[in-house]
Amino acid sequence: MIERIAELRDEAEAAIGAAGTSAELEELRVRYLGRKAELPNVLRGIATLAPEERGPTGKAANQARQALEALIARRGEQLAGGELEERLRADVVDVTLPGAPPQPVGRLHLLTATRREIEDVFLGLGFRIAEGPEVETVYYNFDALNHAPTHPARDRMDTFYVAGRDDVVLRTHTSPMQIRTMEAHPPPLYVIVPGRVYRRDSDATHTPQFHQIEGLAVDVDITLTDLKGTLLAFARAIFGPDREVRLRPHFFPFTEPSVEVDVSCFMEHRAGTRCRVCKDTGWVEILGSGMVDPNVFSYVSEYGYDPERVQGFAFGMGIERIAMLKHGVPDLRLLYDNDVRFLEQFG
Ligand code: PHE
């Protein structure tokens, strides 16, 4: 019996040493150490042997089993290590290769690009950016901006009221943020406010939703020339270094005096053809503005805006209008159709 054990052990050791894969090794483990294998059977049958054989046979069988188990474990580790290496070599991915095919990089929508361009100009002049709610109270949209109770803009024909309410609207301009920023920050204040606004208007040159940028500067000793100089810097940054601006008297409920601001035409003018941008007047209207009406300050006097002490200017421009003028876009609706053949030309 002891000889048979030694034979089995030699045979198994040779086979294990020659195993080429983990799977082969597993087969050998089953063959030599599995439940139906010979060696474990010997161990199970020790009790049936003659008493004097039990000790030496049991010892030899046990040593053989332990030796084979250890050998299988070692060989298993070797094979697993080699197989892992092999898998890593086979599965290698070159992460430096470009995606296939490389995807084209997108671009900003003309309106986004224009908004950012305008923001950059005013950031450079020391203004900060604020944003506010599009669903606004009548108080901020009209009352605190000095609109008379009968002002036509309040009419439901012109303004979207929130269903069932007469005190909540979709803001018709970014000007309500004049009041909100003054409530939140004491003077001096230099802010611009980009954002969506809403009016009940829809035709070739009007959409019910469009974008504005509001500007507000409040300090001691602010004058109309500060407004003009600021807007001249803006006009030159956006429309070219040779631009001039002019102010024309106008009316807004919340500025006094109020002005409309024109920029000198930036198109090339040729004799015999009428300029389609300025209609040969030499000037193009770009925005509305004025000096903050002292009545507006009286709505925020408790926040440090004493109309006897501070002055300010405010302006509001349409981003669509600036983009269309600058890039010669003939129809407002092109900005919203999202036809990539149009959009790809900008940004
Ligand atoms: N809110 C005005 C409009 O939408 C523009 C404006 C802003 C005028 C600030 C004066 C001062 O028409």
Of ligand 1's atoms, which has the minimum distance to the CA of residue 175? 1
User: Do both 275 and 182 map to the same domain?
Assistant: yes
Q: Is the pLDDT of residue 211 over 90?
A: yes
Query: Which pLDDT band holds residue 67 (cuts at 50, 70, 90)?
Result: confident
Q: Is the pLDDT of residue 177 over 80?
A: yes
Report the distance separating Cα 200 and Cα 210, nearest Å.
11
Tell which atom from ligand 1 comes closest to the C-alpha of 212: 4
104 occurs within a structural domain: no
Residues in the ligand 1 pocket, defined by CB under 6 Å: 173, 175, 214, 252, 255, 288-290, 314-316
Residue range of the domain that includes 123: 110-346
Domain final position from 90, 119, 150: 90
Instruction: Determine the 3-state secondary structure of 305 from DSSP.
Output: coil
Nearest atom in ligand 1 to 258's CA: 10
Which region holds residue 146: left if phi is over 0, alpha if psi is between -120 and 50, else beta? left
Residues 123 and 75 in one domain: no
The domain boundary, picked from 90, 121, 137, lies at 90
Query: Has residue 98 been placed in a domain?
Result: no
CA 248 to ligand 1 center in whole angstroms: 14
Number of domains, the chain: 2
- Note the pLDDT of residue 246: 97
Query: Residue 342: its pLDDT value, please?
Result: 95
Indicate whether 317 and 285 sit together in one domain. Answer: yes
- The CATH number of residue 13's host domain is 1.20.58
**Rounded-to-integer distance, Cα 227 and Cα 249, Å:** 14
Domain limit, last residue, from 90, 123, 145: 90
Q: Are residue 60 and residue 174 in the same domain, yes or no?
A: no
159 with 262, same domain: the answer is yes
One domain for residues 276 and 141: yes
Residue 69 inside a domain? The answer is: yes
Give distance in angstroms: CA of 83 to centre of ligand 1: 74
**Residue 95 domain-assigned?**
no
Q: Ligand 1 pocket check: which of 252, 258, 291, 319 to mutate, most ligand atoms within 8 Å of Cβ?
A: 252
The confidence score (pLDDT) of residue 47 equals 85
Between vectors from CA 117 to CA 114 and to CA 119, what angle results, nearest 5°?
110
